[in-house]
Structure formats: C-alpha cells, structure tokens
C-alpha cells in the first residue's frame, strides 16, 4: 500500500513538472523518481530518529546563508506517523522530506539559484547535469541516517566558503546583542579631534577588537580609536588614513542586518565559484570587486597581485576561459567604444595627440592613413593602432584567452594607479600589477616556452605571439565579501551594483514544497 502510494505520488509530481515551464522543477521531479526507484518506492522517513536528524540538518543550513523554512521544516515537523490511516498523506510527507533533502544537497553543492539567471558566467555550464545529480543521489542513498553528514560531504570546501560561513556565524551571534550604533553625519573626524560622536565610535569598536583602551567615554579621537578605524578601513577596502570621512562614515552606518545579508549572498556566489573551480587543480582567478588576481593550485594561492578593472560604465565581464597564448611587445588597436568615447574627443581638441602617443590611423585593410586628411567629426571606418613600446597601453605583454568580449589581461604603464584603494579605471580589460611574474608562472606551469627566448623577444621590441604548452584555465568572478581564517569579515564596494539584484532573486525564489502540491496537502 505504501509503495503504491509513493509510486503514484512521484508519477503525479513528474506529470505536473512536465506541464510547467520550470526546468528546475523537472530536474527535482526526476531526482525524486530516481531516488525512489533505487529504494523500490518504499518510505524512507518513517523512523522518528531519521526524520529528526533531517530536520536538525535542515535547520543548520542557516549557517550557510540558506533559509531552513524554505526546505519545508515546519511541514516536516507535523509528521503523520506510521499509524496514520491515509497512506497517501504518509506517502506525500515522505516525498516532501526526500525532496527537501535532495534540494538541500543540490543547493549546498551548486547554489540556491542558477547563476545563469542572475549573474551569468560566460562559457560555464551549470554542473546540475545528470552526472552531478547521480553523484548527489549516491550520497543521499548512503547518508539517510545522517543527513548532516551528507551536507558536510557536499558543502564547498574552498577557503572562501569556509571562512565566509564562519563570518556569518560570527555576525549572527553579534546580532543577538543588538545593532551597531549609528554615527551621525558631520564634518570629517581627524586624529586628535574632540567630538561628541567619538564615544559612539568607541562603542562600535570596543566589542570586535576587545581593546580596553577603546572602551571609555572619552570624546577625544585618540590613537586607539584611530587604529580601530584604520583596521575597519582596511577590512572595507577604503583608504586607510584614519579619517572618518563620508566613505568611511557610510560604511560604518551599514546596519548589521545589511552585512549579514551581504555575507549570505556571497556564500551563494562562493557556492557557484566552487562549482567552477573544484575540478581545477591550477587556474588564474581574477577577483573583480577586490581588484586582485591570483594564481592558484589546489585551492592555495601561490601568487597574487593587484589589478585595475573595468569602471562601472564599462564593466569587466565575468567568464571562464583558458589562457592560450601571450603577445609580447603588443600593439594596441583601440576598441570602438574607447575610440568613440575617449580618443575622438582628444583628437578633435588636438590632432597632435596621435603623434605624441605613437598612434597610427589605418583602414580595415591595414593601410596607414594620413590623419590630416580625415574629417574627425565624421571619421568613418578607421582604426587607431598604438605602436609597441614602453608607453603602449598594454605594456610589455598581453595575456590572451578566447572570449566574445575582446578582453584580456595585460601589463600597463599606469603603475601608479595600483596604489589606489579603488581601482576600477579600465574599459573592461584587466591591467595586472607585476604582469611578467604571472607570465613566468604561466610559462613554468606549461613548459611550452623558453624563458630566455622571452627575454630576447622583449629586448627586441618586436611584436610576437607565443603559445603556451597547454592552456591554463582562467576565471573572472565577482564577490563583495570574504573573511579571514578567524571568520572576521572583509567587505568591498559593490562596484557594479549587483548585490541588490542577487538579494532580490534569493528572496523571490520559489518555496521548495511547491513541487509536491500536486501530490496532496502535507500540512
């Protein structure tokens, strides 16, 4: 009787999912069918201890930034019991528990949302395919008596995820003591100032830093508070000057609940990121919001540097690709957007701008044109190409990888800009500090290029492409919060204003018991 009820319930759910347009619902229905087929359509959650273990594990998802009630925890608590007379009700309760279990496994492993619908990553296929589903189902089959162990097995093991999870627990604990004090607006607070707002700053920092010299009512902005502000500025990617100006004040006044939400949505990004990087033993990672780059092996950073990334109006695209070759002493063909928005206004002001910057005018056949005979108000289909050299916009090397956005990594003569705390200056490409060190790592990793030859090419000043011995994966990704090994959170500016869209998408996601409505009421 129970087997027949479960089989009928699963088949009814599959039919309902096929009628709908939600691919996630169809996948969830198929997973239920595979799961119960493996168990001969017998109930799996009628044991009180097993069901209690599942409910406890689902409640623990709050530490992952997931909402336990989205996984039908309240409904699961109202178990019909093995003695209930309605087999269909018992079957549907069992199916609901299994659905919650499988969905939680999927979302811990790959993310609550499909990134393609919120923050698409070019050339990345979601791992929610049949192979990945079978792997998760195998874990589900073997861990029915310990759902929390199943969650531990699929939870991302990356440093980013592990530390962010600690940070969320830390902030949630802090929230039990109330919100952070708000600091009123006013003139900038500088070291040595006496101001009635200073005690509020002391209250803001006394608990996190546990520094007795901060915990007083004095209204002088003394060295202890200045150092606390500098630590705060460092953790929020602000200019570390100890001055409480408008940017620092704005960051101080973000409510604790806002920071908790920021960590929650970045745990989602960390799940997506883990899905991309876990299969990779070695790769280049560009952290767009943090304006940083790293070369990673086995989830360990072996090299890192600062970058300059795309400004908000010309963002650096998110993508997964493979570095295939290097261009030494590159020329630079000015992209159409930069030509239209940046170069044409300069040329119209002063045509000698071209000669000063060693920029040639060419047609699409590669023929050089005389700039004096071009109407720069209506230049037509011309290209601007900057000669190779120390002042070339791409510096000594461009690091190439296939993508439809015409972006790449490159060296730059604008080295002074790496000293800025906010480094969103480019038109989409990624300028790399100490780019030749990255070149050495790529060469050493692939053994495809003689280092002596590289030095000779650079010294020659001639443009030359060299292919790597094997492609090296590259990932350009975006996240606005991370944490150290102690769970202390670090935040950065949401330079492309993506956090709010992700927050809305997570809040609007369909509750997970909707799929079993076609089975029967379970409450």
Q: Does 36 map to a domain?
A: yes
Residue 46 has which token pair? 């009628």
Element (H or E) spanning 153, and its range? helix 147-154
Could you read off the pLDDT of 386-409 as tens digits, one per residue? 999 988 999 999 999 999 999 999
For residue 301, what is the domain's CATH number?
2.40.440.10
Question: Of 254, 270, 206, 230, whose CA–CA distance to 478 is shortest?
Answer: 270
Q: How confident is residue 82, by pLDDT bands cut at 50, 70 and 90?
A: low
User: Which residue matches tokens 């599959």?
Assistant: 14
d(CA 279, CA 295): 15
Enter the tokens of residue 13: 């759910």
- Residues 287, 154, single domain; the answer is no
Look at residue 467 and tell me if it is in a domain: yes
pLDDT band at 522; cut points 50, 70, 90: very low
> What is the number of domains present in the chain?
2
Does 192 map to a domain? no
Is 243 inside a domain boundary?
A: no
Q: Which of 217, 221, 210, 213 is nearest to 243 (CA)?
A: 221
d(CA 283, CA 10): 42
Q: Which domain covers residue 303, as residue numbers? A: 281-480
In a domain, 438, yes or no: yes
Mean pLDDT over the full length of the chain: 91
State pLDDT tens for residues 370-386.
999 999 999 888 999 99
194 in a structural domain: no
Q: pLDDT (tens digit, 9 = 90+) per residue, 126-147?
A: 666 554 678 999 999 999 999 9
Q: Give the pLDDT confidence of 318-363 residue by residue, as tens digits.
A: 999 999 999 999 999 998 889 999 999 999 999 999 999 999 999 8
- Closest-CA residue to 305 (of 192, 435, 190, 395): 435
Q: Which single residue is written with the structure tokens 């619902």? A: 25
Looking at the fold, whether 297 and 154 belong to one and the same domain comes out as no
pLDDT value, residue 94:
94
- Are 151 and 286 members of one domain? no
d(CA 523, CA 520): 9
- Given pLDDT bands bounded at 50, 70 and 90, which one contains residue 215? confident
């Amino acid at each position: 009787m129970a087997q027949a009820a479960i089989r009928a319930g699963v088949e009814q759910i599959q039919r309902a999912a096929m009628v709908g347009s939600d691919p996630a619902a169809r996948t969830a229905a198929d997973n239920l069918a595979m799961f119960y087929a493996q168990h001969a359509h017998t109930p799996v959650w009628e044991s009180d201890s097993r069901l209690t273990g599942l409910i406890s594990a689902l409640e623990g998802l709050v530490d992952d930034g997931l909402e336990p009630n989205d996984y039908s925890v309240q409904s699961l608590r109202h178990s019909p019991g093995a003695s209930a007379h309605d087999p269909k009700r018992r079957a549907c309760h069992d199916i609901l528990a299994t659905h919650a279990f499988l969905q939680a496994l999927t979302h811990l492993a790959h993310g609550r949302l499909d990134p393609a619908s919120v923050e698409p990553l070019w050339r990345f296929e979601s791992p929610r395919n049949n192979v990945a589903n079978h792997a998760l189902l195998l874990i589900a089959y073997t861990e029915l008596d310990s759902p929390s162990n199943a969650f531990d097995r699929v939870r991302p093991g990356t440093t980013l995820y592990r530390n962010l999870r600690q940070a969320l627990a830390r902030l949630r604990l802090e929230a039990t003591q109330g919100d952070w004090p708000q600091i009123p607006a006013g003139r900038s607070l500088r070291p040595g100032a006496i101001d009635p707002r200073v005690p509020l700053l002391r209250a803001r920092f006394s608990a996190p830093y546990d520094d007795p010299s901060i915990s007083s009512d004095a209204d002088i902005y003394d060295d202890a508070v200045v150092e606390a502000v500098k630590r705060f500025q460092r953790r929020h990617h602000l200019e570390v000057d100890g001055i409480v100006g408008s940017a620092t004040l704005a960051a101080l006044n973000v409510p604790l609940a806002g920071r908790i939400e920021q960590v929650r949505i970045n745990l989602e990004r960390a799940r997506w990121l883990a899905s991309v990087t876990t299969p990779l033993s070695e790769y280049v990672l560009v952290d767009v919001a943090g304006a940083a780059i790293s070369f990673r092996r086995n989830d360990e950073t072996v090299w890192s540097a600062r970058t300059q990334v795309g400004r908000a109006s010309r963002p650096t695209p998110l993508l997964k690709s493979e570095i295939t070759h290097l261009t030494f002493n590159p020329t630079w063909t000015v992209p159409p957007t930069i030509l239209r928005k940046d170069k044409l206004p300069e040329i119209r002001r002063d045509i000698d701008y071209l000669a000063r910057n060693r920029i040639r005018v060419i047609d699409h056949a590669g023929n050089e044109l005389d700039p004096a005979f071009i109407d720069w108000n209506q230049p037509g289909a011309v290209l601007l190409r900057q000669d190779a050299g120390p002042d070339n916009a791409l510096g000594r090397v461009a690091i190439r990888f296939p993508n439809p956005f015409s972006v790449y990594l490159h060296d730059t003569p604008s080295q002074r800009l790496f000293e800025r705390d906010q480094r969103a200056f480019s038109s989409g490409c990624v300028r790399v500090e100490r780019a030749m060190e990255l070149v050495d790592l790529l060469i050493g990793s692939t053994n495809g290029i003689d280092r002596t030859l590289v030095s000779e090419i650079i010294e020659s000043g001639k443009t030359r492409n060299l292919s790597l011995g094997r492609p090296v994966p590259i990932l350009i990704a975006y996240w606005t919060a991370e944490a150290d090994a102690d769970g202390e959170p670090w935040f950065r500016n949401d330079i492309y204003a993506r956090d709010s869209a992700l927050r809305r998408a997570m809040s609007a996601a369909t509750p997970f018991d909707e799929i079993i409505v076609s089975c029967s009421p379970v409450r």
